[in-house]
Amino acid sequence: MMLSKAIASFLKQLAEVRMASPHTVSNYKRDLRRFQDQHDVNMMLGDVSRIAVQNWIVGGHAQGLSASTLARRLSALRSLFDFCVQAQWCEKNVAAGVQAPKQKKRLPRALPPEQTVKLMSPTQAVSDLRDAALLAVMYGCGLRVSEAVGLDVIDVDIRSSELRILGKGRKERIVPIPEGGLVLLNKYLKSKPVSSGVVFINKNGGRLTTRSVQRMLKKRALETGADVSVTPHRLRHSFATHLLTGGVDLRAIQELLGHSSLATTERYTDLDINRLTEVYDQSHPRARKKA
């Protein structure tokens, strides 16, 4: 089996059977093509060795690629060879024992609650009602920006105050809509200028893109005096952090965010402890040593 054919079959299975997101498929395709380009175009699957995989990762590290990029490259190769072993095209996963450089643990940055209030302030934009409803849903329900723009009218249950979300890996979850978000969303849906099955539409009646939401958020932050470093993902982090600070159980937050692993959600406990430590250091009389 040629490596190129194995890659093509794997990517097809990733998209059509495993229902991976287009973003994941695109990244894996780019990584695997780059690995292939480093070797003979007609390279056979059985000719790929662990040394070849190691050299590719080490070479990327020498080029200054980030640890997260190298980890993704290694993940793509491991997934490819897992697929090939199951298909009996090779005997073992040559990438299984290769280690990627350790990634620095980055804590998410949350917006202070008063900043989210500023973002919801009225603006002069023609699309103000739509934008306010979108932000209320993204922050109030902890949605990824792709999940928010992917919402269809059929996914909204106003009577039950719930949204049906299709997350990563086509995993479905139900999330409650907070009262303020429900009022704005209902008002927007009733006043939508175009009859469409899509919830959040652009001026032409089509579905909003993630890029247009990012631009809208920056512009709205400037107009309302909110933190201009805000991003859609930072709103999601803020949702989780504010719930944790309010005493919500970590398992419940995991379900609301749609995390498949609790370890991903547990990053927020580190963030909250760091914040508590900061407050302690600033205010407790015993926190600072005497000069």
Show which residues are catalytic.
144, 168, 233, 236, 259, 268
The 10 Å Cβ neighbour count of residue 214 is: 15
**How many angstroms separate the Cα of 289 from the Cα of each of 208, 282, 285?**
54, 12, 9
Going through 103-160 in order, the beta strands assigned E by DSSP cover 156-157
- How far apart CA 235 and CA 73 sit, in angstroms, is 28
Neighbour count for residue 150 (Cβ, 10 Å): 19
Give CA–CA dist 291/231, Å, rounded: 41
Give CA–CA dist 161/166, Å, rounded: 17
